[in-house]
Amino acid sequence: MNAQQQLKEDIVRICGMLHRKNYLAATDGNVSVRLGDRVLITPSGVHKGYMAAYQVITVDLAGRVLNGEGSPTSEIRMHLLTYKLRPDVAAVVHAHLPYATACTLAGIDLLEPILPEVVITLGGIPTAPYATPGTEEVPEAIRDLIQEYDAILLSRHGAMTVGQDVMDAYNKMEKLEHTARVVLAARLQGPVPPLPAAEVEKLRRLGEKYKGGG
């Protein structure tokens, strides 16, 4: 199996995992992987939980279809902008997480440092302003945030995560949804105090070491 075929299989596997975790429904969501000057990306209008590798579409970095039937996801511009701005990123996952989306509807901000694991691995989880799905508004809404963060809530539209590979991006998505569940449960009991500033600084230093492989 060549590298491109393996990455297509990886995308299908991750889509299945997202569907089983209820992170997307039916044709929602999209996943992509960068391979040199090409991007392998999920198609529009296909149920991601039952997708096959042959349905993954190959495009160039401008979004022109090089291989595959149908059209790439309508959110392709968000993926392409991410790869343009973040040369360290090799995969993008966008899912419609129930609890994370609920946070955006309730006006709950996940950027505050509450859980130590989130500070270490993600730094924080900001919320991008609302943008009409499938339009140029979406990449513009995340333009500034994606340059600093690996996980972003999309107002009323789920979340996106990025990673060194598609599994890394998926892991961040799982951590994001777990965080949303914890914060929502805690908020039912009252205000949730953030971690002290001194502890946040310690955790950020650990995060730098974590990302550096130390």
Q: What is the pLDDT of residues 91-130, one digit of tens each?
A: 999 999 999 999 999 999 899 999 999 999 999 999 999 9
Instruction: Determine how β-strand 151-154 pairs with β-strand 127-128.
Output: parallel
Extract the tokens encoding 132.
């009409």
Percent of the chain whose predicted confidence (pLDDT) is above 90: 94
140 is catalytic: no
pLDDT at 195 over 60: yes
> Residue 121 phi/psi, 5° resolution?
-90, -30
Structural domain harbouring 185 = 3-211
Q: What are the C-alpha distances in Å from 139 to residues 56, 82, 118, 205, 211?
A: 21, 8, 24, 30, 26
Q: What is the pLDDT of residues 30-78, one digit of tens each?
A: 999 999 999 999 999 999 999 999 999 999 999 999 999 899 999 999 9
Cα 80 vs. chain centroid, distance in angstroms?
Answer: 13
Which position among 9, 69, 75, 177 bears the catalytic label?
A: 75
Give pLDDT, residue 186.
95
The count of domains in the chain is 1
What CATH number is attached to the domain comprising 116? 3.40.225.10
Give pLDDT, residue 210.
72
CB-based contacts of 151, cutoff 8 Å, min separation 6: 122, 125, 159, 160, 161, 162, 172, 173, 175, 176
